[in-house]
């Protein structure tokens, strides 16, 4: 057995293990086109819709996990994004935003996996929680800035509220605290390894959503 596995903090292990998938998601064609300002606000809207399905699964599932000995410490109200996404969608799609809203196939598969973990495997749910929320607190801020400039949303206003964590005044400190939670996770080495595998799966599920979105919004130019 690799002796370093027992001494390297879990937060470092999970970050290092998902590094390659992170780069893949970050450099996906859809993300590159979106961040490169080459797509219209309709693509941004469709992307935000996909996020709503994913966060609904994450946050509906979180209620029942609040007192769970493994996932419980991660459930923090200041992270919740569903309300913000709904405000953004009302701005982007209008008051009847929910009407006719359907997930892309990859989004439906992603949300189903999150819901399944929430129901049956709290440690696996942590992998999904980490992949989304720590990402939103990090690279999400780059996306917000780009979206504001490209499509003219008010700074931190409707349309980009998803990226604004009103109750987290110091994201760097919050992320440090989050990594401490990961390091103290109530799981043995084998279970930690399984969480890392689920994290890689979470990244792959995100990349699949980008692939579906890329097919809906190919660059025609």
The vertex-80 CA angle with 78 and 81, nearest 5°, equals 125
Structure tokens at 152: 């003219």
Chosen residue from 5, 64, 142, 173 binding ligand HEM by CB under 6 A: 142
Hey, what are 194's tokens?
């399984």
**x/- map, 172-201, ligand HEM, by CB under 6 A:** ---x--------------------------
Q: How far apart are the first and last CA of the chain?
A: 52
Cβ at position 198, least distance to ligand HEM in Å: 13
Binding of ligand HEM at residue 83 (CB under 6 A)? no
Work out whether 213 is an interface residue with ligand HEM (CB under 6 A): no
- Which of residues 92 and 127 has its CB atom nearest to ligand HEM in the complex? 127
Residues of span 6-65 touching ligand HEM by CB under 6 A:
11, 15, 22, 25-26, 31, 35
In the complex, what is the shortest distance from the CB of residue 31 to ligand HEM, in angstroms, rounded to a whole number?
4
Q: Which of 80, 86, 139, 145 binds ligand HEM (CB under 6 A)?
A: 139
Site for ligand HEM contains 134 (CB under 6 A): yes
What is the contact surface with ligand HEM in residues (CB under 6 A)? 11, 15, 22, 25-26, 31, 35, 130-132, 134-135, 138-139, 142, 175, 203, 206
């Amino acid at each position: 057995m690799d002796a370093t596995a027992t001494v390297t903090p879990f937060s470092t292990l999970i970050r290092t293990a998902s590094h390659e998938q992170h780069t893949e998601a970050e450099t996906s064609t859809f993300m590159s086109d979106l961040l490169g300002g080459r797509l219209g606000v309709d693509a941004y809207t469709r992307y935000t819709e996909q996020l709503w399905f994913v966060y609904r699964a994450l946050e509906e599932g979180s209620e029942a996990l609040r007192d769970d000995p493994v996932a419980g410490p991660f459930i923090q109200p200041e992270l919740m994004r569903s309300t913000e996404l709904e405000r953004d969608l009302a701005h982007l799609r209008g008051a009847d935003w929910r009407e006719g809203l359907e997930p892309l196939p990859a989004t439906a598969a992603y949300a189903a996996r999150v819901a399944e973990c929430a129901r049956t495997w709290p440690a696996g749910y942590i992998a999904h929680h980490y992949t989304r929320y720590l990402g939103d607190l990090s690279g999400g801020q780059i996306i917000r800035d780009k979206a504001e400039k490209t499509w003219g949303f008010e700074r931190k206003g409707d349309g980009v509220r998803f990226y604004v964590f009103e109750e987290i005044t110091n994201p760097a400190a919050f992320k440090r605290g989050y990594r401490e939670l990961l390091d103290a996770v109530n799981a043995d080495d084998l279970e930690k390894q399984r969480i890392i595998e689920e994290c890689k799966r979470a990244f792959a599920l995100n990349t699949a959503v980008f692939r579906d979105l890329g097919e809906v919004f190919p660059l025609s130019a």
